[in-house]
């Protein structure tokens, strides 16, 4: 599954080979082979301590790798740091600003520290970046009065001050309300539509599934899966569920088709009040089994009907990204990174 992306180096915005980072005897990133296609929105997933932030720091030259190679926008890092970083915008480990300056003043100050940013268009670029993240109305407001979500948006605005080929965002929707989250999601998609590669580190699976085209999953410093979202989902199992009062007959049909229903999950009778009297209404038993690639769901229904099994319910459930994450890492996502 980790070889799901097949691309030439020229098609990759980020590529690592055997990337490793050790702190003393502890290996926090181990033999990482990451492939991020140009123009993609790439979700970088993993639980706390999985090595995501350390990887990002190495990609941007903020930490030195112990072993391995890094290529960003086709250039070796950190050797080409000076030519690569002006093409990269980043929001890492939360935004940091001067609290007694306004949002626009903070951005102008940061922009002036960028030797590659043209001073003549600074005011216009700052205004445009603030408008793009929905902070135009708060441009003159002191950052100390900003909410966490507003500070997060200001950090994204800083990453967008000049045109970028690659945007790296660490938890970009952290602290945002639902409307702000939708706006950032739309912004990220628009960046990709313009040809910018967006690399997003996040623990919010719903957000990754709604805005990313590709993803990678880390566990204990190692890459355990990467590919398009469809490739990752297809790596998980698809299950069928049949609800019927004819449990034994249904189980025989499933077994004959090569499905193992295992132990049925009996739902039992449900008492319904009708005209003041309690009437037992059997809803049957739900049988569930993994669906092999060689068996079509409609063939299962046809076989059940042919065997005169009374079908009260039938569903096909595809593995979600969260199902895959739990299967690969043995744990769910924390809500705090």
pLDDT at 148: 82
| Gap between the Cα atoms of 197 and 214, Å rounded | 11
- Of 221, 217, 199, nearest to 51 by C-alpha is 221
**On the CB side of 176, how many CA atoms lie within 13 Å of its CA?**
23
Task: Convert the pLDDT of each residue in 289-315 to its tens digit.
Answer: 888 888 899 999 999 999 999 998 898
CA distance 136 to 298: 54
Quickly count helices (H) and strands (E) in the chain. Answer: 11, 17
27 CB burial (10 A radius; 0-12, 13-18, 19+):
middle
Residues near 154 by beta carbon (within 8 Å), at least 6 away in sequence: 95, 97, 103, 106, 107, 130, 133, 135, 143, 146
- E-assigned strand segments in the chain: 12-23, 26-32, 35-37, 41-45, 67-72, 75-77, 88-91, 166-170, 197-201, 214-219, 222-228, 238-244, 265-266, 269-274, 277-282, 285-290, 313-318
Provide the mean pLDDT of the chain. 83
Best-predicted range by mean pLDDT (57-66, 164-173, 233-242, 264-273):
57-66
At residue 153, the pLDDT reads: 87
Please tell me what DSSP assigns to residue 30.
E
Top pLDDT among 8 and 181 is at 181
* 233 has pLDDT over 80: no
Strand order across the beta sheet in which 238-244 lies: 265-266, 285-290, 238-244, 313-318
Mean pLDDT of 135-149: 92
With bands split at pLDDT 50, 70 and 90, how would you rate the model's confidence at 277?
A: very low
Domains of the chain with bracketed CATH: 9-234 (3.40.50.300), 237-271+278-318 (3.30.70.260)
| 179: three-class secondary structure by DSSP | helix
Q: If pLDDT is split at 50, 70 and 90, which confidence band does 286 have?
A: confident
């Amino acid at each position: 599954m980790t070889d799901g992306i097949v691309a030439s180096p020229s098609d990759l915005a980020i590529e690592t080979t055997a990337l490793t980072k050790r702190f003393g005897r502890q290996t926090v990133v181990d033999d990482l082979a990451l492939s991020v296609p140009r123009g993609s929105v790439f979700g970088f997933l993993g639980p706390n301590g999985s090595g995501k932030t350390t990887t990002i720091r190495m990609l941007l030259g903020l930490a030195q790798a112990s072993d391995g190679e890094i290529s960003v926008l086709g250039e070796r890092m950190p050797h080409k740091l000076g030519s690569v970083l002006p093409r990269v915008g980043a929001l890492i480990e939360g935004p940091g600003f001067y609290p007694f300056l306004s949002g626009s003043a903070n951005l102008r100050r940061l922009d002036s520290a960028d030797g590659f940013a043209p001073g003549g268009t600074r005011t216009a670029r700052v205004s445009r970046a603030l408008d793009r993240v929905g902070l135009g109305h708060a441009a003159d407001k002191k950052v100390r009065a900003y909410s966490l979500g507003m500070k997060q948006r200001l950090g994204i605005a800083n990453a967008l001050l000049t045109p970028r080929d690659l945007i790296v965002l660490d938890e970009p929707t952290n602290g945002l309300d639902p409307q702000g989250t939708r706006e950032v999601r739309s912004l990220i998609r628009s960046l990709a539509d313009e040809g910018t590669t967006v690399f997003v580190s996040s623990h919010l699976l719903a957000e990754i599934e709604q805005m990313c085209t590709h993803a990678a999953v880390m566990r204990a410093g190692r890459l355990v899966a990467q590919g398009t979202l469809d490739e990752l989902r297809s790596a998980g199992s698809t299950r069928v569920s049949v609800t019927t009062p004819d449990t034994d007959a249904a189980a025989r049909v499933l077994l004959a088709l090569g499905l193992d229903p295992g132990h049925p999950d009996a739902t039992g009778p449900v008492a319904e009040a009708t005209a003041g009297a309690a009437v037992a209404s059997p809803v049957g038993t739900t049988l569930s089994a993994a669906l092999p690639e060689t068996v079509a769901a409609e063939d299962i229904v046809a076989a059940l009907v042919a065997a005169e099994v009374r079908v009260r319910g039938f569903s096909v459930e595809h593995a979600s990204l969260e199902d895959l994450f739990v299967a690969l890492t043995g744990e769910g996502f924390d809500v705090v990174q």
